[in-house]
Structure 1
């Protein structure tokens, strides 16, 4: 087995079970491992530290898998990790109100670079590292043995695959091709999921609990759902008796799917309107028209993909939230989110404080949103805690 030797003084994070070793921490390599090859990580004194995937093209040169030298990282090891992750989600799906969730969440489930989402009888996978890519035949076989899915579809179209020397993929891996819309249930609400053409793996199940929680605040209220995608917050709020909901998204496919979801759930179409538009531009139009709302949801895409983008992202978050605050009635509620791992909660609160100051408003933080149990945060990998949100009363 190839040895990757750490520089002296770079052992601390590995000893604390953090799964990433950056290329700058590597002193030398004994051998010439191919990308995705499993190597031994050795400290500067020659002692064993861990096994991990190697990639010579990535900033993260080694993604650690196993810290016990006596354990062999082989086919059985990967099968066991897949089974453990899948079994940990069984309770979440037990009562039948939800049949969609994240089955495998990358580093949190000790499979760095593997995402598996369940949509009723179908699975969507995203493969983000060369090491996982090398082991996909075993992983697919284990998923089939455990779940007998109707299909397993590869949604590995993230640009980050390029950092690992991988091309994007969008193809069927097993079973029969999923239908154009796969019907799933979440919080007893029906959604049509377009796995092949939808964003990410087809749906954002990380907002499941937050949709349900926010819906309790929307009964009888006039609500604006921004970056609505296929209507998670919209549908939960209509189900809980919102007076009206306006949904805004720039994607025509998302709006079409949202309107189909309204029909699937037999909601009163007169209480809902969908607008295909850039959210920032539409918010400014609402402001010019003197439009006001009781509840506004802001769930934008990732503005800060890295720490280096944080300043620019903070300005974008501030401007977005400032305009939303101006559109709220006195005492209205703003549910605002960031899915950027680089944006920590305290920084996000500070950004909202700046937005309130510029808007001439006062803000009370009354609830803190987070990611659900199928998106666990590993104690040694705090970077896995990416989704944060705040429910704000704007005065």
Structure 2
């Protein structure tokens, strides 16, 4: 096994079990490992630190796997990590009201670069590192052994794969090709999921409990669901008796699927409308038309993919939330989210305070939203905490 030796004084994060080693921390690579190979990481005194995946194409040159020198990182190691992750989600699926969740969450489940989502009898995977790409045969075999899925579909279309020297993929890995709409349940609501063509792995299961909580406020209220995608917040609100819901998204495919989800759940008689539009432009149009709402959901895509983008993202979040606040009736509720890992909760609160000031509004933080337990945050890897949100009462 090839040794990668750190510069003097660069071992602190490794000793604290953080799983990333940046290229600038490396002094020497003894040999020529292929990208994705497992290497031994040593400190400047040549003492063992950990085993990890190596990739000289990535700024994160080593992704650490195991800190015990006496434990071999072999097929059984990967199988064990998969078994533990899957077993830890069993309670989410136990009562039958939900049959979709995240089974493996990358570094947080000690499998850096691997995401696996369960959609009823189908699995969607995203492989984001070259090392995990090499390990996929044994991982797929273990998933097949544990779950016997109808299909395992590779949704590795993230642009971040290019940092590892990998091309994007969108192919069937095992089983039979999933149908155009895979039917799943979440919180007792049915959804048609387009695994092959949908965004990310097909469905955003990280908002499961947040959708359920917000729906408790929705009865007899007029709600606006922005960046609605296939209708998670919309459908929960309609089920809870919202007076009306307007869903806005820029994707025609997402809105077509949302309308199908409304039909599947027999919500056709409800007051629902879908608008295909850029959200910021549509919010301005609502303002011009004097349209007002009791509840507004703002769940935008990732505005800050890195710390360097945080200032620009903060301005975008502020402008978006300012527009939302201006469309709320006095005492109305704003459920606003950020899925940018670089945006911490305190910064997000400050951005909302600026938005309230610009909108001429008073804001009370009622509740802090977060990602559910199938998206755990590893104590030594706080970067895994990416989803945060606030329920705000606005006057």
TM-score by shorter chain over 0.5: yes
- Tell me how far apart the structure 2 counterparts of residues 305 and 137 of structure 1 sit (CA, whole Å): 30
Determine whether 1:335 maps to 2:335: yes
Separation in 2, partners of 1:269, 1:165: 50
Q: RMSD across aligned C-alpha pairs, in angstroms?
A: 0.5
User: What residue is the counterpart of 1:163 in the other structure?
Assistant: 163
Aligned to 1:246: 246
Matches within 5 A, 1:114-129: 114-129=114-129
Q: What's the counterpart of residue 292 of structure 1? A: 292
Unaligned 5+ segments in structure 2 are none
Q: Map Cα deviations across residues 147-195 of structure 1 (whole Å, 9 max, x no partner).
A: 0000000000000000000000000000000000000000000000000
Residue deviations 1:37-92 (CA, integer Å, cap 9, x gap)? 00000000110000000000000000000000000000010001011100110011
Report the equivalent of 1:111.
111
**Residue 195 in structure 1 maps to residue 195 in structure 2:** yes
* 1:66 matched residue in structure 2: 66
Residue 144 (str. 1) matches residue 138 (str. 2): no
Aligned pairs (5 A) from 1:256-267? 256-267=256-267
Q: Please state whether the residue corresponding to 2:309 is helix, strand or coil.
A: helix
How far apart, CA to CA, are the structure 1 residues paired with 2:374 and 2:194?
A: 21
Residue in structure 1 matched with residue 224 of structure 2 by the alignment = 224
1:71-121 CA distances to partner (integer Å, 9 max, x unpaired)?
Answer: 000001000101110011001110101000000000010000000000000
Residue 268 (structure 1) shift: 3.5
Q: Give distance in 2, aligned partners of 1:277 and 1:109.
A: 37
After superposition, the C-alpha distances for 1:1-44 in whole angstroms (9 at most, x for unaligned) are: 10000111111100000000000000110011000000000000
Contact 1:112–1:132 at 8 Å: present in 2 too? yes
Please give the alpha-carbon distance, in whole angstroms, between the structure 1 residues aligned to 2:305 and 2:259. 30
SS at match of 2:146: helix
Whole-angstrom distance in 1 between the partners of 2:227 and 2:330: 23
Aligned residue pairs, count:
395
Query: Which residue is 1:213 aligned to?
Result: 213
Deviation at 1:270, TM superposition (A): 4.1
Contact 1:262/1:269 (8 A) holds in 2: no
Give the Cα–Cα distance (whole angstroms) in 2 for the partners of residues 376 and 121 of structure 1.
Answer: 23
Distance in 1 (CA, whole Å) between partners of 2:223 and 2:286 is 13
- 2:22 is equivalent to residue 40 of structure 1: no
Give, in whole Å, the separation in 2 of the partners of 1:135 and 1:349.
40
Counterpart secondary structure, 1:230: coil
1:233, CA displacement in angstroms?
A: 0.2
- Partner of 2:348, secondary structure, is helix
8 Å contact from structure 2 (residues 238, 270) kept in 1? no
Query: Mind listing any 5+ residue stretches in structure 1 that lack a counterpart?
Result: none
Quote the Cα distance in structure 1 between the aligned partners of 2:270 and 2:26: 61
Q: Distance between the aligned counterparts of 1:115 and 1:202, measured in 2?
A: 12
* Cα deviation code 1:201-223 (max 9, x no counterpart): 00000000100000001111000
The offset of 1:363, in angstroms, is 0.3
CA distance in 1, matches of 2:310, 2:269: 40
Deviation of residue 361 (structure 1)? 0.3
- Spell out, residue by residue over 1:296-338, the C-alpha distance to the aligned partner (whole angstroms, 9 max, x if none): 0000000000000000000000000000000000000000000
Aligned equivalents of 2:151, 2:68: Cα separation in 1: 35
**Cα offset, 1:125, TM superposition:** 0.2
Shift in Å, 1:269: 3.9
What SS does the corresponding residue of 1:70 show, helix, strand or coil? coil
Give 4+ residue runs of structure 1 displaced > 2 Å after superposition. Answer: none
Residue 360 of structure 1 aligns with which residue?
A: 360
Contact conserved, 1:226 with 1:296, CA < 8 A, in 2? Answer: yes
